[in-house]
Amino acid sequence: MCGIVGYLGDKPCIPLIYDGLTKLEYRGYDSAGIAVAQEGRVALAKSEGKLERLKSHLKDLPASATMGIGHTRWATHGAPNTINSHPHSAGDFAIVHNGIIENYLELKEELEAEGIKFYTETDSEVAMQYLRAQYNKLGSLEEAIKKSVKVFRGSYAIGILDPKQNNFLYVIKHGSPVVIGIGDNECFFASDAPAIVAHTQKAIFLNDGEFARISKDNIKVWDFDGKASAFRIAELSWSSEAADKQGYRHFMLKEMHEQPVVIQKAIARLIDVHTGDFNEAALGIDQINLEGIKNINIIGCGSAYHAGQIAKYFLEPLLGLPVTVELASEFRYRDPYIRDTTLTLAISQSGETLDTLTAVKFCLENKSQVLALCNVEYSSIVRAATSTCYMHAGPEIGVASTKAFTLQVFCLYAVGLAIAKKIGRLKDNDLKAILNDLRVFPNMIEQALAGKEAIELVAQKFYETTNFLFVGRGLHAPVASEGALKLKEISYVFAEAYAGGELKHGPIALVDKKMAVLAIVPSDFYFEKMVSNVEEIKAREGRIVVVGDNASPRLRNLSEAFIHCPQIATPALQAILTTVPLQLFAYFMALKRGTDVDQPRNLAKSVTVE
């Protein structure tokens, strides 16, 4: 939540910082600001609302400035208005902050007692004033940082602009991500790589408990005790084009359309579809000791959790081991039974979700090996985990997860197959049939996407409906949850998901002619049972949308709309296929309702607060 950017070099910094912020807007978008140095003072431009609104204020800044910091905000403390937006400055010093300073009230009281006045409701202004007070007392910014980080509680990434120092910017990391980009006689810092990849592929990822002083041609990193830290310069693989819309109206639309290609690439990377060999290094299982593993523990949040729920359906029979799936936000606050005989699969697109990261740390402390399934390179979960299976989806900018979700399910399946083969549980004939399906699978995702015009017409019929139930059985029960989540988050339509068999245990009481029900009815083992559920809904006058491959007269008669989805024999792959029309449905519902598809209200892509 919140994106921070800093630049120091020979070029005018304002356009570069603004451009970096556009690439981080998915982290927060309720207000934004930029600060630069001007004649030993801080010049500030801030605005509430989307980044776009900041543009008209940038003319107030000195255009020739070559050093500055910027911020795009997802409000935690204090309303999302101009005064509370970052950078926070006392005129001679400015900071941008991503995270939460939990003990800010205590610190504020202390500072107020010293006569310092506050103008905002934010914890970030307190962090700024605390750092500044230490700086004034100690006369050195590095000493002030060391002192302050001993006192700050919470998680934070803080970028500091001190106009008295023309050659340096500072950045501190504790719990929130920071990447430093090294360019040609210029240097950047940012919350995430998309903000810098247009300028450099060379990056340093700070560890928790480190701060850095960056200049045009030199980086120094220290730990919080002031001891110099060694760092590694990583080569980023993301390109700048990957973080652009490339002609699509929305990032979400572009990312849905990337699914056939990213899945095709994942197949090529992870499985040899001719020999049935698995790339154990790319799957991350070469680093995992499978001996003695007695159970699988899957953790994640939001869509990642749904991917885990789907995986439970195929992993248990594949591996012959009990699989539990839990929301990381619940897991981390209880006392779960985790031992060295547990293999944990931690799923996270960003690799920065604080709940998942904390759960990962708990598992490691309790001797469980952790295999991370992540998209963002060198992210915190990747660095904490025993080993990683990278999804390589490229940047996912739309707040609603699409390609990352389907890749999560796919990677979980590939991991499951590879382990099953390794432990001798995968029969040759079964593998052969799966490999056959994998060969045609990317093309079938294309076919599912090709149904978009028909899906748009369904959305046209239903976009004024304000209540939806999503139902499915087997793997399609969590697919229904994912479909409902997509609809909720981008179209603001209330949507709840139930396993088909659960309807009669309560939710069917909600069904009347105003209730819309989206039923996932592929031609699988549950087909007849799902058709019965649809009959029950129809009998209570619910409005029915069916997603399936079998447009039989019976189903057509029962439903007001039928969304066709191609059929594939392998259930795990079918779950991915069936997700695609649900993504499109949510997208078109949002379009018709006029909501902000890529940046829905109240949300941020990367949830780095509790």
Q: Which is nearer to ligand M6R, 155 or 606 (CB)?
A: 606
Smallest gap from residue 485 Cβ to ligand M6R (A) = 6
Using the contact rule CB under 6 A, the part of the chain among 132-140, 147-155, 343-351, 473-481 near ligand M6R is 343-351
Using the contact rule CB under 6 A, the part of the chain among 105-113, 167-175, 342-350, 560-568 near ligand M6R is 342-350
593 phi and psi angles, rounded to 5 deg: -85, -5
Using the contact rule CB under 6 A, the part of the chain among 127-135, 258-266, 296-304, 330-338 near ligand M6R is 296-304
Q: Is there binding between residue 329 and ligand M6R (CB under 6 A)? A: no
Using the contact rule CB under 6 A, the part of the chain among 136-144, 344-352, 455-463, 498-506 near ligand M6R is 344-352
Torsion angle, CA of 102/106/112/118, rounded to 10 degrees? 20
Q: Is there binding between residue 348 and ligand M6R (CB under 6 A)? A: yes
Q: Is there binding between residue 401 and ligand M6R (CB under 6 A)? A: yes
Beta strands 187-190 and 3-8, pairing class: antiparallel
Catalytic center residues: 2, 605
Interface size with ligand M6R, residues (CB under 6 A): 16
Smallest gap from residue 304 Cβ to ligand M6R (A) = 4
How far is Cα 308 from Cα 310, in angstroms, rounded to an integer?
A: 5
Smallest gap from residue 360 Cβ to ligand M6R (A) = 11
Closest CA to 500 of 480, 531, 535, 471: 471
Of these, 31, 350, 358, 574, which contacts ligand M6R (CB under 6 A)? 350
How far is Cα 370 from Cα 358, in angstroms, rounded to an integer?
A: 12
Two structure tokens written together for 147: 């002192």
Q: Which is nearer to ligand M6R, 191 or 303 (CB)?
A: 303
| Residue whose token pair is 């029960």 | 477
DSSP states of 9-45 = SSS-HHHHHHHHHHHHGGG--SEEEEEEEETTEEEEE
Smallest gap from residue 355 Cβ to ligand M6R (A) = 8
Two structure tokens written together for 90: 């006392």
How far is Cα 277 from Cα 391, in angstroms, rounded to an integer?
A: 18
Of these, 195, 400, 448, 521, which contacts ligand M6R (CB under 6 A)? 400
Of these, 303, 388, 559, 579, which contacts ligand M6R (CB under 6 A)? 303
Using the contact rule CB under 6 A, the part of the chain among 251-259, 301-309, 433-441, 500-508 near ligand M6R is 301-309
Smallest gap from residue 179 Cβ to ligand M6R (A) = 16
Q: Which is nearer to ligand M6R, 44 or 307 (CB)?
A: 307
What phi-psi label fits residue 203: left (phi over 0), alpha (psi between -120 and 50 degrees) or beta?
Answer: beta
Question: Pattern 563-582, binding to ligand M6R, x per CB under 6 A?
Answer: --------------------
Rg (CA), the chain: 25
* For helices 403-422 and 259-270, angle between their N-to-C axes, nearest 10 degrees: 20
Of these, 194, 302, 395, 478, which contacts ligand M6R (CB under 6 A)? 302
Which residues from 129-188 bind ligand M6R, rule CB under 6 A? none
Of these, 356, 406, 491, 574, which contacts ligand M6R (CB under 6 A)? 356
Q: Is there binding between residue 353 and ligand M6R (CB under 6 A)? A: yes
Whole-Å CA distances, 228 to 170, 174, 213, 222: 15, 16, 11, 4
Of these, 22, 155, 349, 574, which contacts ligand M6R (CB under 6 A)? 349
- For ligand M6R, the nearest residue by Cβ is 302
Query: What residues have CB less than 8 Å from 222, skipping those under 6 apart?
Result: 142, 146, 210, 211, 212, 228, 229
How far is Cα 289 from Cα 304, in angstroms, rounded to an integer?
A: 24
Query: What residues have CB less than 8 Å from 603, skipping those under 6 apart?
Result: 399, 489
| Residue whose token pair is 């899945």 | 263
Q: Which is nearer to ligand M6R, 9 or 302 (CB)?
A: 302
Query: Across 193-336, where does the E strand assignment appear?
Result: 202-205, 210-214, 219-223, 234-235, 295-300, 323-327
Q: Is there binding between residue 607 and ligand M6R (CB under 6 A)? A: yes
Smallest gap from residue 410 Cβ to ligand M6R (A) = 15
Q: Is there binding between residue 489 and ligand M6R (CB under 6 A)? A: yes
Smallest gap from residue 17 Cβ to ligand M6R (A) = 25
Starting from the edge strand earliest in sequence, which strands make up the sheet with 154-161, in order? 88-89, 94-101, 154-161, 169-174, 210-214, 219-223
Q: Is there binding between residue 304 and ligand M6R (CB under 6 A)? A: yes
Smallest gap from residue 606 Cβ to ligand M6R (A) = 6
Closest CA to 324 of 334, 338, 333: 338
Angle at 458 between CA 456 and CA 459, to 5 degrees: 65
Using the contact rule CB under 6 A, the part of the chain among 73-81, 117-125, 234-242, 302-310 near ligand M6R is 302-310
Smallest gap from residue 443 Cβ to ligand M6R (A) = 25
Q: Is there binding between residue 271 and ligand M6R (CB under 6 A)? A: no
| Residues engaged in binding ligand M6R (CB under 6 A) | 301-304, 348-350, 353, 356, 399-401, 485, 489, 606-607
